[in-house]
Amino acid sequence: MKIKHLNIAKTTFDNISKVKERLDYSLWIDFIDKKKDYFIWVEDTEEGKKTLSQASKLPESLRTEYLKGFNKRKVYAEFNTKKGYYDVVIQFNEKLGVISTTFQKKIKKHHLELLLKMANYLDASLLVDGTKIINENTLIDELS
């Protein structure tokens, strides 16, 4: 099975905008801060620092949208030196209280294991397409 859309949420969902129970944002920050050897906050990247330095030049009405991924809302991992970008992007959606992922490469077992640890830490579930739960028992099946 080829996995495309992974989320972390308290419950399964058919429509992400209707998720009722939100993840704990402080636990998200704590988990990422404990894994700084793998993750980097977007604001700590060179591109992020440049963006933040230029934000004050924007009109107030645009600034909020421009900085949406900052303030410990988005992390990157696995910088691709040949292509010049990070292959893994994980974002905490403040409005919905869920975590979404973007992979620029094939999702491997170590990615699922780490996301499962994150989900467990947040007392939540790792979901494929919002509806299918990945746990320790189904992890191997998802990769075949």
> What are the pLDDT tens digits along the chain (144 aa)?
567 779 999 999 999 998 999 999 999 999 999 999 999 999 999 888 888 888 778 777 777 777 776 889 999 999 999 999 999 999 999 899 999 999 999 898 899 999 999 999 999 999 998 999 998 887 766 655
The domain of 25 spans 6-143
Which residue in 111, 137, 85, 95 sits closest to 6, CA to CA?
Answer: 111
Predicted TM-score (pTM) of the model is 0.88
The answer as to whether 69 is a domain residue is: yes
Query: How far is CA 124 from its chain centroid?
Result: 14
What is the b/e burial string over 117-129, where b = at least 16 CB atoms within 10 angstroms of the residue's CB? ebbebbebbbbbe
The answer as to whether 87 is a domain residue is: yes
Domain count, the chain: 1
The answer as to whether 77 is a domain residue is: yes
The answer as to whether 1 is a domain residue is: no
